[in-house]
Structure 1
Amino acid sequence: MARHDVLALVLAGGQGNRMEVLTQDRAKPALPFAGVYRLLDFPLSNLRHSGVEDVWMVVQYETQSIIEVLAGGRPWDLDRSHGGLRVLPPQQEADGEGGWHDGNADAIYAHRDAIAREEPETLLVMSSDHVYRLDHSELLAQHRASGAVATVVTTRVPVAQAGHHTVIDVDDDGRVTGLADKPEKPAHGVVATEVFAFDTAVVLEVLEELASEDRGLGDFPDRLLPALVERGTVREMRLQGYWKDVGRPETYFEAHHDVLVSRTRRRSTDLRLDDPAWPVLSRDVPRMPAFVEQSGRVIDSLISPACRVAGRVERSVLGPGTVVQEGAIVRDSVLLHDVTVRAGARVHHAIVDDGATIGAEAVVGSARIAGDLPTTEELTLIGARARISAGAKVPAGDRVDPGGRRRQAG
Structure 2
Amino acid sequence: MKVKAIVLAGGRGTRLAPLTLKRAKPAVPFAGKYRIIDFTLSNCVNSNIFDILIITQYRPHSLNEHIRNGRPWDLDRGFTGGVHLLHPFQGLKEKDWYAGTADAVLQNLNFVRHGVPDLVLVVSGDHVYKMDYTKLIRFHQSHGADATVCTVHVPLDQANRFGILEVGEEQRIEAFIEKPEDPRSTLASMGVYLFNYKALERALIDDGDRRDSSHDFGRDLIPHMLRGGTDIRAFPFSGYWVDVGMVDTYWQAQMDLLRRPPAMDLNDRNWVIHTRSEERPPTRIARGAEVANSLIANGVVISKDAIVEDSIFSPGVFVGPGARIRQSVLLSDAHIGAESVVDRCIIDKIVATGERSTIGRIEEGDGLGITCIGKSTHLPQNLVVGRGARIGTDLTPEDFAVFESGTVPDHARVGFEPGRSKLY
Q: 1:395 corresponds to which residue? A: 386
**Which residue type is aligned with residue 261 of structure 2?**
R
- Name the structure 2 match of 1:242: 240
| Aligned mate of 2:362, from 367, 386, 395 | 367
Q: How far 1:96 moved relative to its partner?
A: 4.8
Mapping for residues 71-110 of structure 1, pairs under 5 Å = 71-82=68-79, 83-93=81-91, 95-110=92-107
CA–CA separation in structure 1 for the residues paired with 2:205 and 2:65: 34
Number of residue-to-residue matches in the alignment: 397
Task: Tell me how far 1:189 sits from its aligned partner.
Answer: 1.6
| Equivalent residues in 2 for 1:325-344, closer than 5 Å | 325-344=320-339
Identify the match of residue 319 of structure 2 among 302, 324, 328: 324
In structure 2, the residue corresponding to 1:357 is in which secondary structure? coil
* Cα distance between partner residues in 2 of 1:199 and 1:98: 26
SS of residue paired to 2:200: helix
Give the deviation of 1:232 after TM superposition. Answer: 4.3
Match of 2:375 among 381, 384, 403: 384
- What secondary structure sits across from 1:98 in the alignment? coil
Contact (CA 8 Å) 1:338, 1:356: kept in 2 or not? Answer: yes
Find the counterpart in structure 2 of residue 184 from structure 1.
181
Counterpart of 1:275 in structure 2: which amino acid?
Answer: D
In the aligned structure 1, how far is the partner of 2:392 from the partner of 2:147? 41
CA contact (8 A) 2:177 2:219 kept: no
Once the two structures are superposed, the pairs formed by residues 160-239 of structure 1 within 5 Å of their partners are 160-230=157-227, 231-239=229-237
Whether the 8 Å CA contact 2:9–2:124 is kept in 1: the answer is yes
CA contact (8 A) 2:102 2:216 kept: yes
Matched, 1:304 2:308: no
- Which letter does structure 2 place at the counterpart of 1:336? L
The 5 Å alignment of 1:251-270 reads 251-261=249-259, 264-265=260-261, 270=263
Alpha carbon RMSD of aligned pairs, Å? 1.6
Cα distance in 1, alignment partners of residues 78 and 113 from structure 2:
20
1:41 is displaced (CA, Å) by 0.4
Give the corresponding residue for 1:145.
142
- The Cα of 1:122 is off from its aligned counterpart by 0.5
The equivalent residue for 2:276 is: 283
The answer to whether residue 273 in structure 2 is matched with residue 273 in structure 1 is no
Q: Secondary structure at the match of 1:23?
A: coil
Counterpart of 1:363, as a letter, is T
State, as a whole percentage, how many aligned pairs show the same letter: 34
Take 2:71 and 2:343, find their aligned partners in 1: how far apart are those partners? 37
Give the structure 1 partner of residue 405 of structure 2: none
Partner of 1:292: 285
User: Which residue number corresponds to residue 355 of structure 1?
Assistant: 350
Q: Deviations over 1:335-367 (max 9, x none)?
A: 111101010111111111001001100111112
3-state SS of 1:247 partner:
coil
- Contact conserved, 2:42 with 2:73, CA < 8 A, in 1? yes
Q: Confirm or deny: 8 A CA contact 1:169 1:176 kept in the other structure.
A: yes
Q: CA deviation at 1:118?
A: 3.0
Alpha-carbon distance in 2 for matches of 1:340, 1:368: 24
Q: 1:40 aligns with which of 37, 40, 49?
A: 37
8 Å CA contact 1:332, 1:349 repeated in 2: yes
Which residues of structure 1 form unaligned runs of 5+? none
CA distance in 1 between counterparts of 2:114 and 2:55 reads 17
**1:285-310 residue CA offsets vs partner (Å, 9 max, x unmatched):** 22222111112111111111111112
Partner of 1:49: 46
Q: Which stretch shows the higher mean deviation, 219-228 or 7-16?
A: 219-228
1:210 shift after superposition: 2.4
Any conservation in 2 of the 1:29–1:39 contact (CA below 8 Å)? yes
Residues 295 and 326 in structure 1, CA contact (< 8 A), matched pair in contact too? no
Matched to 1:200, the amino acid is Y
Task: Using structure 1 for the length normalisation, give the TM-score.
Answer: 0.93
CA shift for structure 1 position 223: 1.5
Compute the displacement of 1:327 (Å). 0.8
Q: Deviations over 1:104-132 (max 9, x none)?
A: 11111111233234321101000011110
Task: State the partner residue of 2:111.
Answer: 114
Deviation per CA, 1:267-326: give whole Å up to 9, x if none. xxx311120000100002222221111121111111111111121111111111101111
311-320 or 226-235, which deviates more: 226-235
User: Which residue does the alignment assign to 2:420?
Assistant: none
State the alpha-carbon separation in 2 of the partners of residues 381 and 193 from structure 1: 26
Q: Does structure 2 conserve the Cα–Cα contact (< 8 Å) formed by 1:150 and 1:199?
A: yes
Cα deviation code 1:191-245 (max 9, x no counterpart): 1111110111111112212222334443112210012222140001111211011
Residue 314 of structure 1, aligned match among 301, 309, 318: 309
User: Hey, what's the Cα distance between the residues in 2 that align with 1:124 and 1:68?
Assistant: 24
CA distance in 1: counterparts of 2:195 and 2:358, whole angstroms? 50
Distance 1:187 1:159 in 2: 9
Deviates more, 1:204-213 or 1:312-321: 204-213
Distance of 1:400 and 1:290 partners within structure 2: 28
Distance in 2 between residues matched to 1:188 and 1:216, nearest whole Å: 25
Gaps of 5+ in 2: 401-410, 414-423
